[in-house]
Amino acid sequence: MAHEMQTAVSSPVTDHVHFQTVEGEIREPEHIPHHKENFVTKYIFSQDHKTIGKQFLFTGMFWAFVGGLLSLIFRLQLGYPGQSFPILETLFGKWAAGGIITPEFYYKLVTMHGTLLVFFVLTAGLSGTFANLLIPLQCGARDMASPFLNMLSYWFFFAASVVMLISFFIPDGAADGGWTFYPPLNGLREASIGSRAGADYWLIGMALFIISSLLGGLNYITTVLNLRTKGMSMNRLPLTVWALLITAILGLISFPVLLGAAILVLFDRNLGTSFFLDEIFIGGRHLDQMGGNAILYQHLFWFLGHPEVYIIILPAFGLVSEIIANNARKPIFGYRAMVLSMLAIAILAFVVWAHHMFVTGLNPFVASVFVFLTLLVAVPSAVKVFNWLATLWQGNIRFTPAMLFAIGFVSLFISGGLTGIFLGNSALDIPLHDTYFVVAHFHIVMGVSAFFGMVAGVYHWFPKMFGRYMNHTLGYVHFWITLVGAYLVFWPMHYMGLIGLPRRVWSLDAYQNFSMYGDMNRFMTDAAMLVFFAQILFILNFVYSIFWGRKVTVKNPWQSNSLEWTTEIVPGHGNWKGPIPTVYRWPYDYSKNGDDFIPQTEPYRPGEEKLHH
């Protein structure tokens, strides 16, 4: 009891969060107390996981729009080099003098595009939204284990966003040394214009971001492990929850390392330490900062950086698995293999980081070990793809916009995943490293496919979030333009990489070996504009549907088995009006024994064949 009272003080919801006693019996107050909420506690400093999820989604979508726009601007320079766009000068002044994007501006755009998309959209926007929304709803919990920390998690993210946003408007502009932020380029003020104040903003913004991610992650893990409803054993969890749990564990272990690296770079920049600096002659003087190692930073960075790409893709795995099973009206094929393969990917995530560093002068023997471990990742990835295909086989597929994006996800994941087999093999990495082949690889396998997973999730759970449907026709237009367009933008980049065209070049003019790719660049820029245009349709659809979309009139619009569809159409604070439902089976009993679907809350019928779930 003392424990209950203590938590009740720190948060208004926990008093109706149930507590599982040692005997496994569930105690819950019969009456759910109603708290008076005002506008601020309901919509701004809310502790309701669903509202926090929406806050992550809105902020993530804002950054997706900004980050996408940044890429359009630098694609203008790549596609139309030397051509003047007066509007750019009107908007950006000296950064686009004469209507032409300056190299300084170009590198800022590239850097912030990467930072925003990787961290602010595909990490916070994706995990933040769906872990918050789905973990309590699908586990059968009233809220997160600590709603207060959960609220802090969002507001740290918000603070990080504000710091990053301010860095766009300071005199020397935002950071410009690439999203990987390698020192000494980013560690020395003399090295680049963006390495002045912009880099400090970047580091502080990232530090805040990491705190947000850790607070969120702790909560997700605790909630999944402790607050599942009666009957919800681990092997009855929807794959979304499994994916989000594993993602949170990955983040919890790897993000602190990046925080350490960011703080050390801040020290190098501002306190005269030399963790990453050695024998540097810059701006006409010899630096006193000696004895560090620039490669050490890369080890620290990629120890987070590689798990990070799985932090991005795992939630998409989960969302897509759920959506494919639901819309194919079939159980997800090989549930256990799906969970095991995610666990395998998560474990391997920590022992493959140096494959980003094959050409840094890494010891060749060490590199060869990383080759082996890296290519191992392809095995569980292949299992996942084959299992999704097997789920579609003999299905009865409904093509909701969510399902289309889920299928698009699988296609992109295949295309982008296979090129990883080239890059993970150190010898082949030599010619391909840091070329457009890499840009193609990670955009398709991580960027675009995770984006597809996220969009699929938004379409699928929009009715749960807002009690309305998004417009399907617009969804179809959005999907087909985006899928075709994404391939048109990123596929040709493989070809550019094959001849060694380096990434992060403002102009190809200096080289004659690459001049033939000018036309291709223009084509890709035009395709990128088309794709961006389709995203505007999506945003319009999203905003319009929140207020005026077709209303949801049934509790379970997708005939789904999982718990979130047993709540009210728009659940209030505390999620279920009455007691939390008890769970009797796994969430994938679709088309079993002639029943289209059997919700998790249905007890097994006499004589019904039981899986191990």
Partner 1 sequence: MGTTIVITIAVVLFVLVVFQLARMMEYVSILRGEEKSRTDNDQLQGKLMLVFLIGGFIALGYSLWAMRDHLWIEPAAVHARWLDSMFFITLFFTGIIFVLTQVLLFYFAYKYRHRPGRQALYYPENTKLEMWWTVIPAIVLTTLVIIGVYRWFQITGPEPEDSMVVEITGQQFLWNYRYPGPDNKLGDFEFRYISGINKVGIDFNDPASRDDFMATEMHAVVNKPILLRIRAKDVIHSVGIPYMRVKMDAVPGLVTRFWFIPTITTKEMRERTGNPDFNYEIVCDQLCGTGHYGMKGILVVETQEEFDAWAKSQPSFYETYVKGTEEEVRFAQVSEQLKKEREGQAQKGAKH
Encoded amino acid at 234, one letter: M
State yes or no: residue 364 binds partner 1 (CB under 8 A). Answer: yes
State yes or no: residue 301 binds partner 1 (CB under 8 A). Answer: no
State yes or no: residue 4 binds partner 1 (CB under 8 A). Answer: no
CA–CA separation, 531 and 388 (whole Å): 26
Whole-number CA gyration radius for the chain: 25
- What is the DSSP annotation of 167-226? HTTSTT-S--STTTT-TTTTT-GGG-GGGTHHHHHHHHHHHHHHHHHHHHHHHHHHHHHH
Tokens 């949170």 locate to: 248
Q: How far is the CB of 182 from partner 1 (least distance, A)?
A: 6
State yes or no: residue 487 binds partner 1 (CB under 8 A). Answer: yes
CA–CA separation, 125 and 133 (whole Å): 12
Helices marked H in 35-177 — which ranges? 39, 49-79, 86-92, 103-115, 129-139, 147-167
Which residues 29-88 are close enough to bind partner 1 by CB under 8 A? 85-87
Which string of x and - marks every residue 553-582 that binds partner 1 (by CB under 8 A)? ------------------------------
Which residues 313-332 are close enough to bind partner 1 by CB under 8 A? 328-332
State yes or no: residue 309 binds partner 1 (CB under 8 A). Answer: no
Choose the stretch contacting partner 1; rule: CB under 8 A; options: 248-256, 265-273, 307-315, 501-509.
501-509
What the block records as the tokens of 84 is: 């003047």
State yes or no: residue 10 binds partner 1 (CB under 8 A). Answer: no
Which of 2, 39, 510, 605 touches partner 1 by CB under 8 A? 510
Note whether 118 and 125 are within 8 A (CB). Answer: no
State yes or no: residue 542 binds partner 1 (CB under 8 A). Answer: no
Q: How many residues bind partner 1 (CB under 8 A)?
A: 130
Choose the stretch contacting partner 1; rule: CB under 8 A; options: 138-146, 153-161, 180-188, 238-246.
180-188
Which string of x and - marks every residue 267-286 that binds partner 1 (by CB under 8 A)? ----------xxxxxx-x-x
Encoded amino acid at 172, one letter: D
Choose the stretch contacting partner 1; rule: CB under 8 A; options: 11-19, 37-45, 210-218, 376-384.
376-384
Which of 252, 392, 552, 569 touches partner 1 by CB under 8 A? 392
State yes or no: residue 462 binds partner 1 (CB under 8 A). Answer: no
Backbone φ/ψ region at 334: left (φ over 0), alpha (ψ -120 to 50), beta: left
What the block records as the tokens of 415 is: 């295309």
Burial class (CB in 10 A: 0-12, 13-18, 19+), 610: exposed
Q: How far is the CB of 248 from partner 1 (least distance, A)?
A: 26
Q: How far is the CB of 149 from partner 1 (least distance, A)?
A: 37
State yes or no: residue 91 binds partner 1 (CB under 8 A). Answer: no
State yes or no: residue 491 binds partner 1 (CB under 8 A). Answer: yes
State yes or no: residue 383 binds partner 1 (CB under 8 A). Answer: yes
State yes or no: residue 442 binds partner 1 (CB under 8 A). Answer: no
Which of 266, 559, 592, 602 touches partner 1 by CB under 8 A? 592
Q: How far is the CB of 2 from partner 1 (least distance, A)?
A: 45
For 33, other C-beta atoms within 10 Å of its C-beta total 10
Burial class (CB in 10 A: 0-12, 13-18, 19+), 329: middle
Which of 387, 482, 561, 600 touches partner 1 by CB under 8 A? 387
Distant-in-sequence contacts of 338-343, Cβ < 8 A, 24+ apart: 338/239, 338/242, 338/384, 338/387, 339/235, 339/239, 339/242, 340/380, 341/380, 341/381, 341/383, 341/384, 341/387, 342/242, 342/243, 342/246, 342/314, 342/317, 342/380, 342/384, 343/246
Looking at beta carbons only, is 118 or 131 nearer to partner 1? 118
State yes or no: residue 296 binds partner 1 (CB under 8 A). Answer: no
Which of 143, 176, 200, 322 touches partner 1 by CB under 8 A? 176
CA–CA separation, 108 and 74 (whole Å): 10
Q: How far is the CB of 271 from partner 1 (least distance, A)?
A: 19
State yes or no: residue 404 binds partner 1 (CB under 8 A). Answer: yes
Note whether 570 and 467 are within 8 A (CB). Answer: yes
State yes or no: residue 433 binds partner 1 (CB under 8 A). Answer: yes
CA–CA separation, 30 and 92 (whole Å): 60
Choose the stretch contacting partner 1; rule: CB under 8 A; options: 47-55, 242-250, 386-394, 452-460.
386-394
Which of 447, 492, 587, 599 touches partner 1 by CB under 8 A? 492
- From 378, 243, 373, 361, select the one nearest 311 (Cα to Cα): 243
State yes or no: residue 543 binds partner 1 (CB under 8 A). Answer: no
Q: How far is the CB of 459 from partner 1 (least distance, A)?
A: 13
Burial class (CB in 10 A: 0-12, 13-18, 19+), 140: buried
Looking at beta carbons only, is 34 or 94 nearer to partner 1? 94
Note whether 352 and 374 are within 8 A (CB). Answer: yes
State yes or no: residue 426 binds partner 1 (CB under 8 A). Answer: yes
State yes or no: residue 437 binds partner 1 (CB under 8 A). Answer: no
Which of 293, 543, 551, 604 touches partner 1 by CB under 8 A? 293
State yes or no: residue 337 binds partner 1 (CB under 8 A). Answer: yes
State yes or no: residue 395 binds partner 1 (CB under 8 A). Answer: yes
State yes or no: residue 425 binds partner 1 (CB under 8 A). Answer: yes
State yes or no: residue 95 binds partner 1 (CB under 8 A). Answer: no
How far is the first Cα of the chain from the last one, in angstroms, to the nearest whole number? 33
